[in-house]
Structure formats: C-alpha cells, structure tokens
Structure 1
C-alpha cells in the first residue's frame, strides 16, 4: 500500500516590492516515495536584508536536489541535517563574498512524509500547523527573542550563524491529517483561529493554500504571504519492513542442480552450500555470469533468515561502489521465488587463498589493509556496520580489486534487525566488548579488520582462537612479530592499535587507519606498552601474599622452638 496525499501551494507578494518567500514541493513516485518520502518546504528570506530572496530560493533548491541524492541508508533526519548544514555554509559564503549580500539569511520549515510517519525540520519563524480531528496544533516554535520589542528579530536562521541549530521532530501520520506550512506573513496576519477556520472550510489543499494567502492580505498583512498545504488521503507502508512484505511472501526455491533454470537464469555452478544459504553461479539468456543467493528450502518457515536475506539485498543495492558486488535490479514481478542476484567476479576469497597455502607477503597484506579500509570507510559513511569482517568475506578478484562480501548481518540505523542476530560474527574476529553484550559498531569492524590482517600474516589469532559459545578472556595480544620476525614495527603497531582490547584505544575511524597504512614507516604510530608490573598486578600480590605467609610460618616455628 502506498502513501497517498494531495497538496496545494500559494505564494503572493502583497504590498512589498518583491517576493522573498520561496516554496518547494517534491512528490516522487513509487520506490523513491517509499524510501525518501515527499518533501514540502517554505523559506522566508529575512525582510530588509539584501539577498533574502536569493537565500530562500537557493536553500530550497539545494534541499530539494541534495536530499534525494543522499544515500538511501541514511535516516531522514541525518540526511536533512547534512544537506541543511551545506546550505547554511553556502549562504554564509555568498554573504562574505559579495558585499551587497551581507546579512542574507532565511527561515525554513519543512515536512517529509514517508509511509506512516512524518519528519519536520524547522529554523526561524515560519510555522507548521496540523489539523487532526478538527483540532489545530502548531508543531513548531518560533526562534525569536522573548521580548515584546524584539519578537520580530530572529535568533536562528539559515545563514545567520556558522553553527546552524535546527529543530527536528517526527510522529505518526493519520488518514485525514492536514498539514499547513506558512510564512509569518500568513500566521501573523491571521492568527490560529482564522487558520483553523480556513482549513476546516475548504475541501482541497489548493483552495486552502490560496485562501490562507489571500485572507492574510485582506486582513492587512504587510508581508509576503506563502502557504503549502498537504492532506493525507491514505497511509503507506512503514518503510522497509512493509516494503518487503510482498517479497517475503515469495516461496524459497527448491535446491537446484547444474542446468536447472529459475526465472530465466541457468545454474552453471554451485558455489556455496551451507546450513542456511545457497550460492549459485548462474547465466542469463545473454550469456552473462552472475551469482544467485538464496536460502535452503528448510528455512521457509524461518522469517528471520528470510528477512536477513532481504535486508542484505536492500543494503547492497544502495552501496554503489567497486568495493562490493553490485546487485542486479529485479522487480517483484520478475521473480517467482525468494532470492537476489549480484555480479560475478573471477577470483577467490582470502580464506580460500589461505586454505590453498598462499603465503601473504608484508607488502601484500599492507595493500590489502588499505583496500579493506577504503571499503569499510565507504560502508561506514553509509551508516552500515558490516559485523562479520574476516578473510572468508573478503574477495580478491582477478582484476586485483578487493571486494567485501556478505551484508547479511550488516547493521544500519534504518533497519529493524531480528533480535536473534543482534551480535553475529565469527568469534575469533569479534571485539572483546561484543562478548559483554555491547552492540557492534564501527570500532568492532576496525577490530575485525585488524585481526584479519594479523591472521593473513601469521595464520594465528592475537588472543588465541575463540570457539563458539566460549566466554574468552582477553589479556595482552601476542605480537605478530613473534611468528614472523620480519614484520616491520610500523605495520605491527598499526595492527596492535586496531586490535586493542578497549575501543577507545583503537583507530577512531577506518579513514584514520587507512592514513596510517598509507604513510607506513614515514609516519609510524607508537603503541604505549603496558608496564610489566601493571600487567602482572595479580601475580605480584599473589607472590607478596605467599612470601608473607612463609615469613609468618617461619616466625611461628621459631617462636615454638625457642
């Protein structure tokens, strides 16, 4: 079910020489509406300030274009915040660059409607009203000075300060809700009572918007009068979970053999057959090779596994990069079963190379580390935490490109992950804090990447191999140079920093670790060593207790024999 709404807009100049208000409406269709939602906004250039109209127009234009260009994996608020900060910087730069534009700024009030929810962003003294069940409510707060003679002076606006502070709020939509975004030229002239009357009187949002602007001038308004009105006619699906409802209704395919066909794809090779999933190499009618991933037929009654597969496809579709395999866009109508298809690349995983006896050189591992950090930094910028970095999930193609595989347990703030995979991963590559119940984050990915590099160099694990369901104790890691003395100190220190027991002692970001790997021995990092007495704290006190006991026993013996 799709979100359906009707909207109207009106902006009139009134008695002023020019209109410094600007309206923006973006109402995309189909998938874009379900992922990004519809955007409605009103900006009011600061009256009397040169460039107010330009500030309002460019802020709205930047917002409408750049919001829809942000990654689909970002939350609405995160995407809006990034775009608005960029718009604020642009307005400030224009004011500083052009003397006649000094002081240019604008208010901004906007709504994003998606699925069954709305998100609003607001700065300045434009307002957003909601009419629900015949009751009118103002959803925003004016950012003006709280003094009778200063209530026309803004405390916050786009372009007013280097640090833009925006009010965000969100809530549930209801069928029949009417939202009105109005400039101060409307609400100041009419008041809440007249706005309520207009929204109740007219039947279409376009008539409501026109009536609000016209009546504001008739009531003696001396400012530009702008209004955007939207009415919710039908609630949509609740973003990803409901978007995938149709796909979840697809049956799992039976186990396929070489030569079998599925929706036009011919099975050419079975790549992976595990307890949960199946990977096939397939060929389309044009002869192109792909990889088809699905689940074992026995998982048909396991909604968590089916949801994880669809989450993986949804995330991977939104990662447009050479660092991961790309997803073939297939609509619901093109599939008769639950699976997805991704690009095929010649090569092998790092684990397959280890199993084949490949010896990884120092330079080779350093280069792998750089490519891995580039891939991780790209995922982290999209708010994706992989949660299962290990050699088996890193593919080195015959084109010498490294690709990160398997986003099946990746975590993203826009997805509701099944509870039973809150902390997945391979135990030997899992960070210490994960065994204490902390949810995986970027620091956990960096730790796993460090263990991966350690393992490629030594075929060992820094804290020993961890078995499933084991509760390991993490002491001091064994330095990789113990197994390979030729490992240079700069590379060893980078790995030791990445696998530090405490997250705050690791690299803060993947980009920081990448920079350290790129600089190498030119700018080596230093790992502070823990003093021996601190590392052996318990042993020291144990020895002191034993020595003290021995002395006491000796004194007692001497006392008895004397």
Structure 2
C-alpha cells in the first residue's frame, strides 16, 4: 500500500509591505514516493533585511529540487543535511556579492513523510506541530536568545553563519496524524489551545490552513502568516519491505545448463557457483545482448534470509550508477517467473581467477589496481554504502581495462542493513580486527579489506596469517610484505601497512585519502606506521601474571640460598 495524505497551505502578507515567507511542497507518486517520500517546507525570511524573501524562496526551492537529486541510497537526514548546507552556502555567497543583500537569512522547517516514518529538519523560529489522538505537540525548538528583550533575535538561521547547525528528528507515523509547519506569524499570535482547536479533524487541511492564517492576522498579528498542513490518511510500506513483498512469491529456478531458457533469456554457460549462489552467462532472446543472471541454489528456495539477501542485493545495485559497478537490468516482479536478477556482462576475469591461473602482479600493476579499487570504494562510500566483502574474488578486471566491484550481497546502506540477520559478514582473512569484537562495519573496515587485498595480490599471503571461519584470531603486528616480496618499494609497503593497521584510528580515514597516497607514490611517501611497543601490546593481566611468576622464581631462589 502506498502512503496516502491530504495537504493544505496558506501564506498571507498581513500588515507588512512584503511577504517574506515562502511555503512549498513536493508530493510525488509511485516509486519516487516510495524511495524518497513527500517533502514539505516553510521558510521565514529574516524581517527587516533586504533579501529576506529571496533567501526564503531560494532556500526552499533549491531544497525541494536538490533533495530528489540525491542518491536513493542516502538516508533522509543525510540527504537533507547536504542540500540545506548547500543552500546555506548559496545565501552567504549572495550576501557577500550584493551589498544590498547583506544580512539576508531565513528560518527553515522541513517535514518528509515516507513509508511509515516522518523526518524533520529545523533551524530558526518557525515551528512544526503534530496533533495525535487529540494532543498537540511542538516537535521543534526555537533558536532564539533566551532573554525577554531578545526573543525575536535568531541564534541560528540559513545564511547566518558558515557553520550551520540543523536540528534533525524522526519518528513513527500513525494514520490520522496531522502536522502543521508554520511561521512565527501564526504561533506567536494564536495560543496553543486555539491551534489545537483549529487542527481538530473536522475540516480538510486546506480549510485548516486558511483558518489559521486568517485568525492569526485577525488576532493582531503584525507579521506574515504562513502554514502547511498535512493529514496522514494511510501508511505506506518501507521501501525494501515493499520490494520484498512484491517478490516474495518468486523462488530460485532449478539448476540450469547451457541451452536452457528462463523467461526472456537463454543460458549460455555457468560462470560461477558457490554454496549459496549460481551465476550464469545468458543471452536476451530478442536483442541478442549478453547479460549475467544471478540466482540462488535451488536448495535455498525456502531460506527466507538468503532470498531476502539476494533481493536486497538487487534493490541496492539498481540504485547505484557507477562505472565501477555492473549495471542492473530493471525487471519488475511480474516480468520474472523465478527469483533472480540480471546485470551487465563484461568480458574478463576476477583478480582471484588471475591468481589461480598463476598471474604475477607487478608493483606498478598493483598500484593501478589499488587506485581503481579505491575510486570504486569511494563512489560507494559517498552514497553511504559499505561493501563489507572486498577481496580479489569480488574485483573484476574487464578486457576494456576497467576494474569493477562485484557482489553487493552483504553490502549495507542508509536505507537498509542486513546487520540484524548477518552481523559483519565477509571473508575472515579480509575482516578487520574490530569486526571480530562485534564492532559495526565502517569505512575503516572496508579500507582494511582493500589493504589486505593489495597485500594478498602481491604476496599471496595475509598480513596476520590466514584466518579460518569461526576462528577468533589474536592480532599482533602485521608481517611486512617485503618479507615475501623484497622488490616492493618502501612507499607502497607503508601504504599497505597503514591500511591494515590493527587500530582503526591508525588507518586512512577515507578512500580518497588512500587513493591520493597511491597517486603521489614515491614523490610524497607517507610516514611508516609505528610498531606498537611490547609494553603497550601486552594487556594488564599478562603483566600481572609475569609479576607473579617473577615473585615465585625469586622466592624459590631465596629458599635455595637459605638451605644451602
């Protein structure tokens, strides 16, 4: 079921010469509503300053436009923060370029409804109210000075300062909820009990909005009066939940062989099979174009976790548009008779396959591979996606010379995470030390896996030794790769050792930082990672036992001296 709501809005100038408020909304339908939701905004240009109206209008217009241009993988607060920060920079730039606009600023209150949740962003003294079960609640805090004579002076506003601090909040929706976003021209003129009466569900939202602005001015309000009213009629489904619901009847096909057909595809060959998945090279019957079809082993047809993981992989991959990832063919559930998804075919081999065929990677080749891998990881991280399983088997080098990241089956994003069902999945030898202590995956753990990948491609070894599944390893100091490959230059070894540092704080902070280190190479080598002294590596308990043993040995020696 799709999210359903009614809306109304009103903005009156009142006694002012000019209306410096601006209200607007975007209420999309279909997939856009499911993915991004509907957004509502009220802005109040700073009174008494030229450009107040321009600041309010341009802030809201850019917000509503840019919000829908952010990647679908971004969580809503992160997307709002990006576009509001950009609007703040624009307002500041306009004030600096045009002397008559000096001091232009605006308040901003934003509401996003998606699925079964609401999200709010707020700065200034406009307000967001919610009426639920007959009780009115203000969901925002006014950013004004806490002095009777300065309560009209803003402490925070868009365009007021380079460092904009925005309040974010979210919560669960209920059918029947009513929200009202309003400028101070309404809430300062009408007492809260009257606002509650006006928002009672006896009138449609547009009638409520008209009544609020009209009464605020009649009550003696001297400011512009603006409001947006939203009434929630029915809740929608969470984006991924909705996608899973549409596809839950699909089951993996029986194992296919060359020449078999599945829907509109003909199987050419089996490319890869594992305990859980099957990957086929297929040809589209009509166009003749080659694709890759990924599905599950037939024995997992009733494994809800595995089926959901494959659907999660498809859902996420469809929303990633990058040259460093295969592109997914958009197929609706009714276009498929079985559970699978289809992605672009690229001639080539994975780096693991190259290793198995005896390929020798040079340091120059590894440097280029590392740069491409980090560009791909950086693209994922900028879209708030963690791969969580970087390794040679998931890096494909095409005959076109392009490196692509494969397998988003255990990737996590802002929208959905498989943390609850698959805590910290991945290949043990490539998993960061903190993951074995049940820490959450992070950019640092992805970069650790990238460092281990480069180490393994060069040496066919692992920095801390090979780790078997279900083993709980103890990490000491990594073995320098030059022990196995003396031809590795010092600057490259330093980069790899920094990436695989046991302490996450000692690693690179971002993929871009590690990429820059590889690009600069010998011209600007990084400082070698300092080895942890023994006194720091050993825990307190180990030193306590050492002290006890030392005392016992001394006691024995004293006893032997006495009896001799």
TM-score (normalised: structure 1): 0.95
Q: Is the 8 A contact 1:387 1:409 kept in 2?
A: yes
- 1:179-229 Cα distance to aligned partner (Å, 9 max, x none): 111111122222223322322375211222122222222223222221111
CA distance in 2, matches of 1:297, 1:452: 31
Paired residues for 1:8-407 under 5 Å: 8-200=8-200, 202-284=202-284, 285-407=286-408
CA distance in 2, matches of 1:258, 1:213: 70
TM-score (normalised: structure 2): 0.94
Query: For 1:137, what is the secondary structure of its paired residue?
Result: strand
- 1:120-146 Cα distance to aligned partner (Å, 9 max, x none): 111111112222223322222222222
> 1:541: Cα distance to partner?
11
CA distance in 2, matches of 1:178, 1:547: 73
What's the counterpart of residue 470 of structure 2?
469
Change (3 A) 1:474 1:418: closer
Unaligned runs of 5+ in 2: none
Change (3 A) 1:229 1:550: closer
CA distance in 2, matches of 1:557, 1:131: 85
> 1:315: Cα distance to partner?
1.4
Query: For 2:174, what is the secondary structure of its paired residue?
Result: coil
Change (3 A) 1:235 1:550: closer
> 1:467: Cα distance to partner?
1.4
- 1:11-31 Cα distance to aligned partner (Å, 9 max, x none): 122222111111111011111
Q: Is the 8 A contact 1:202 1:208 kept in 2?
A: no
Q: Is the 8 A contact 2:117 2:170 kept in 1?
A: yes
Change (3 A) 1:553 1:131: closer
Query: For 1:403, what is the secondary structure of its paired residue?
Result: strand
Change (3 A) 1:463 1:182: same
> 1:535: Cα distance to partner?
8.7
CA distance in 2, matches of 1:252, 1:137: 49
Q: Is the 8 A contact 1:46 1:106 kept in 2?
A: yes
Query: For 2:145, what is the secondary structure of its paired residue?
Result: coil
CA distance in 2, matches of 1:109, 1:66: 16
> 1:532: Cα distance to partner?
7.2
**Which stretch has the larger CA shift, 84-93 or 56-65?**
84-93
Unaligned runs of 5+ in 1: none
Q: Is the 8 A contact 2:377 2:511 kept in 1?
A: yes
CA distance in 2, matches of 1:25, 1:530: 56
Query: For 1:324, what is the secondary structure of its paired residue?
Result: coil
CA distance in 2, matches of 1:288, 1:43: 51
Q: Is the 8 A contact 1:271 1:280 kept in 2?
A: yes
CA distance in 2, matches of 1:230, 1:555: 86
Query: For 1:419, what is the secondary structure of its paired residue?
Result: coil
CA distance in 2, matches of 1:73, 1:550: 62
**Which stretch has the larger CA shift, 57-66 or 216-225?**
216-225
- 1:240-269 Cα distance to aligned partner (Å, 9 max, x none): 223321212222222222222222111111
- 1:383-407 Cα distance to aligned partner (Å, 9 max, x none): 1111111100000000010001001
> 1:6: Cα distance to partner?
1.1
CA distance in 1, matches of 2:350, 2:537: 40
CA distance in 1, matches of 2:221, 2:305: 58
Q: Is the 8 A contact 1:280 1:291 kept in 2?
A: yes
**Which stretch has the larger CA shift, 331-340 or 355-364?**
331-340
CA distance in 1, matches of 2:38, 2:533: 61
Query: For 1:421, what is the secondary structure of its paired residue?
Result: coil
> 1:552: Cα distance to partner?
7.7
C-alpha RMSD of the superposition: 2.3
Change (3 A) 1:531 1:152: closer
- 1:283-307 Cα distance to aligned partner (Å, 9 max, x none): 1120111111111121121111111
Number of residue equivalences: 561
Q: Is the 8 A contact 1:20 1:44 kept in 2?
A: yes
Q: Is the 8 A contact 2:50 2:104 kept in 1?
A: yes
CA distance in 2, matches of 1:203, 1:144: 33
CA distance in 1, matches of 2:361, 2:104: 59
**Which stretch has the larger CA shift, 545-554 or 275-284?**
545-554
Change (3 A) 1:290 1:557: same
Query: For 1:292, what is the secondary structure of its paired residue?
Result: strand
Q: Is the 8 A contact 2:477 2:531 kept in 1?
A: no
Change (3 A) 1:533 1:119: closer
Paired residues for 1:409-424 under 5 Å: 409-417=410-418, 419-424=420-425
> 1:547: Cα distance to partner?
9.7
CA distance in 1, matches of 2:70, 2:126: 26
> 1:528: Cα distance to partner?
4.1
Query: For 2:2, what is the secondary structure of its paired residue?
Result: coil
What's the counterpart of residue 514 of structure 2?
513
CA distance in 2, matches of 1:399, 1:49: 58
Runs of 4+ in 1 over 4 A off after TM superposition: 531-561
What's the counterpart of residue 479 of structure 1?
480
CA distance in 1, matches of 2:548, 2:204: 86
1:443 aligns with 2:444: yes
CA distance in 2, matches of 1:458, 1:507: 22
> 1:459: Cα distance to partner?
1.0
CA distance in 2, matches of 1:420, 1:12: 52
Change (3 A) 1:536 1:155: closer
- 1:143-184 Cα distance to aligned partner (Å, 9 max, x none): 222222222222211111222121222121111221111111
